[in-house]
Structure 1
């Protein structure tokens, strides 16, 4: 979730009050479809408007926010013999520009200072560009690099990183400078750098269809349909969210392939191939990096190799090998280290009860005994093959490791000092699965999310339930239901 989204923390932009749209209608999340040459209301910058509130019904509306008047910037065609200079934010007492623009609804959030925020976003000139009367009908001037001119670029960034991700499409539509900040991914890098992160859940209940869910606003977003071959569409898939990327791993003909969804462009493309393509691996992400460990190669050989992915550069780096080869394992980040847990290994393909810790500083693996959640009594008594069960359902919240026991319908917590698992409560009633398959158990900020669906086709819907462990024993809150006749095929949480 977005941390520190207090109304008293800064200027909190809420651009366009209609931006909270229903599923499949969040086009504002991904700007670029509209032409930059026109404002939405069709007015030109040379049309004079008055911003006094009592005359707003007769004139174009603008707003005053903490002593600022904010309007939109537009480009003027070459026939206009120059570019307009629309002031995005004027200090109180300064004369209003003769500009056109739409009504933009912002919610003020107090005047608290934004000290302690680190912003390294290039040069902030703080100077207005001079334009001759012959090239500017309005006679106004502005600094196109200052974002909100009246407070400067750095203070503008301090405000923008506190906005919700769902507002960035509208913010990017204001002008090219705002759009570049959003579409380049710079704003997400600065959010991560300063500790402002929202976690959205991405999951698939249909072969090539993905949806995103914001657990704070409880709103849905439909992603574009994945491109793929028939073989990839019908193959088993794995997913991982890292930075602003959603990676989907599968198989096409005889090779492993990756499809990449880019949040910044709202589009799919073929991802970069791993150095050692694999499936059935354990994985987890931390900021802009992710680690994949173990799994099987295209010949079915169980691997002990690992790789790191950097979403900003879209590159793979080979890591040192683990102590044990393993497949069908799970991965988490905890206390700044990567852990691979459980899985199947050895010549006899038996379940592994140990885990391994990878230290990013020393670049070494350390084996940890009895780290895998114990199998339930029912699974042991039925002598179910380990390969028939899903990989361990584990997640980390506030550097504490939790596991979902799909058989006993329990939530367990790992004691790092004693290296023991103990039960803390129950899973939600509708956390249905088949041997753990079809059940999503994920960390989502300070929440644990469980997404479960029907045991049989035609069940009708799945449920999203959440629990905040810091609030006490498991008390699950139903976030939403979604109609679906299928299980959850894949699920990932994107924090950016």
Structure 2
């Protein structure tokens, strides 16, 4: 009898919620909160990685950008992917994506839809690979694609009209990543086929330091010059005004190129139409020690600025992240508003690239 009474003292377990209710909760949350939701229960953990969530988000208009960051431990090891996620204390943090395998070092990356294309790189230091793969950012799976006609690392790879243009890159074992190739490789993302074109007559033996795509043109910088390449016309010209600043690891919003100058501690902007450089007012994220650098990505009217700070005392590095909203005022000045700024990863990590993927 006593056992029956004891049993009655324990309330019955609440019935499990239907999957539709779980889905409705998950799709309405920002994707940066998914790492927190995955801690709630096994049910939430499986849902936040389910393709159903992203299909429903798309139908309901809840698409948003997710930031992917390529990290190497010492600039000589393979790449591991991280995403920006929110912690229970509401701070942001770079969270590893365990289901994605290691990627080649000094590959080039191209975003198309909800996918990241990985082009070439060093499979092991000194061994260049012609492999191409596509990362499905919804399922975090990798699909192999037809290989490049020639193995290169450190190339410029940009998407124009559904075609990826692979320009330059090292085809030797030299770590200097200088390009002696006289070809441009073009990958059709729909037909999944390669074509080879002769490159314009720019100087060979250059290392590409940065590149962006603006208005169907590819802007590239080496140590000696900045170039503007028009894929449709097959023409290339120098841009000495663009080259007057040491722009690197840049991104574009509304035909304006942005990069963070860690030496001068300012966010610089190059107006494509005016062909003029300026400084974004209201943004200072330093100071920085020697050996620091920046990476930027754009999503909507926001800038994602990742700053790698060298810490001399501990001989380690810190990766900081700033979310900056930019706006042009009536006088033509561009102002920035820092919405969030903080440490997102520490230890001995090197940020090799950052990408914004909408899904």
TM-score, normalization by structure 2? 0.67
Please state if 1:303 is matched with 2:181: yes
Measure, in 1, the Cα distance between the counterparts of 2:236 and 2:163.
20
In structure 2, the CA distance between the partners of 1:431 and 1:444, relative to structure 1 (3 Å rule), is: farther
Aligned to 1:333: 213
Measure, in 2, the Cα distance between the counterparts of 1:218 and 1:285.
30
Please state if 1:448 is matched with 2:303: yes
Measure, in 1, the Cα distance between the counterparts of 2:31 and 2:194.
27
Q: How does 1:108-147 map to 2 (within 5 A)?
A: none
Measure, in 1, the Cα distance between the counterparts of 2:299 and 2:189.
19
Q: Alpha-carbon deviations, 1:322-365, whole Å to 9, x = none?
A: 34144324221222x13232214xxxxxx11x321325xx4433
Aligned to 2:157: 283
User: Which stretch of structure 1 is more off in the superposition, 304-313 or 464-473?
Assistant: 304-313
Aligned to 2:250: 394
Unpaired runs of at least 5, structure 2: 1-11, 329-333
In structure 2, the CA distance between the partners of 1:465 and 1:288, relative to structure 1 (3 Å rule), is: farther
RMSD between aligned residues: 4.4
Please state if 1:274 is matched with 2:144: no
Aligned to 1:242: 111
Please state if 1:429 is matched with 2:274: no
Please state if 1:369 is matched with 2:239: yes
Deviation at 1:211, TM superposition (A): 0.9
Measure, in 1, the Cα distance between the counterparts of 2:326 and 2:233.
31
Unpaired runs of at least 5, structure 1: 1-56, 63-70, 73-87, 89-102, 109-159, 345-350, 377-390
Aligned to 1:7: none
Please state if 1:474 is matched with 2:311: no
Deviation at 1:214, TM superposition (A): 5.0
Q: How does 1:69-148 map to 2 (within 5 A)?
A: 71-72=18-19, 104=22, 106=24
Q: Greater Rg, structure 1 or structure 2?
A: 1
CA contact (8 A) 1:287 1:495 kept: no
Please state if 1:464 is matched with 2:334: no
CA contact (8 A) 2:326 2:336 kept: yes
Please state if 1:324 is matched with 2:202: yes
In structure 2, the CA distance between the partners of 1:263 and 1:424, relative to structure 1 (3 Å rule), is: closer
Q: How does 1:10-409 map to 2 (within 5 A)?
A: 60=15, 71-72=18-19, 104=22, 106=24, 196-206=63-73, 207=77, 208-213=79-84, 218=92, 220-224=94-98, 227=101, 236-243=105-112, 244-245=115-116, 247=118, 249-252=120-123, 253-258=126-131, 260=133, 261-268=135-142, 272-285=146-159, 290-298=164-172, 301-310=179-188, 315-319=193-197, 321-325=199-203, 326-335=206-215, 337-344=216-223, 351-352=224-225, 354-359=226-231, 362-375=232-245, 392-409=248-265
CA contact (8 A) 1:309 1:316 kept: yes
- Secondary structure of the corresponding residue to residue 454 of structure 1: strand
In structure 2, the CA distance between the partners of 1:227 and 1:257, relative to structure 1 (3 Å rule), is: farther
CA contact (8 A) 2:265 2:287 kept: no
Measure, in 1, the Cα distance between the counterparts of 2:199 and 2:248.
21
Deviation at 1:493, TM superposition (A): 0.8
CA contact (8 A) 1:465 1:480 kept: yes
CA contact (8 A) 2:81 2:96 kept: yes
CA contact (8 A) 2:309 2:319 kept: yes
Deviation at 1:303, TM superposition (A): 3.1
- Secondary structure of the corresponding residue to residue 306 of structure 1: strand
Give the number of equivalent residue pairs.
312
Measure, in 2, the Cα distance between the counterparts of 1:212 and 1:314.
27
CA contact (8 A) 1:242 1:286 kept: no
CA contact (8 A) 1:358 1:366 kept: yes
Higher strand share: 2
In structure 2, the CA distance between the partners of 1:415 and 1:397, relative to structure 1 (3 Å rule), is: closer
Measure, in 1, the Cα distance between the counterparts of 2:214 and 2:82.
27
Deviation at 1:295, TM superposition (A): 2.5
Measure, in 2, the Cα distance between the counterparts of 1:284 and 1:195.
27
In structure 2, the CA distance between the partners of 1:301 and 1:246, relative to structure 1 (3 Å rule), is: closer
Aligned to 1:484: 346
Measure, in 2, the Cα distance between the counterparts of 1:205 and 1:254.
17
Measure, in 2, the Cα distance between the counterparts of 1:407 and 1:374.
15
- Secondary structure of the corresponding residue to residue 106 of structure 1: helix
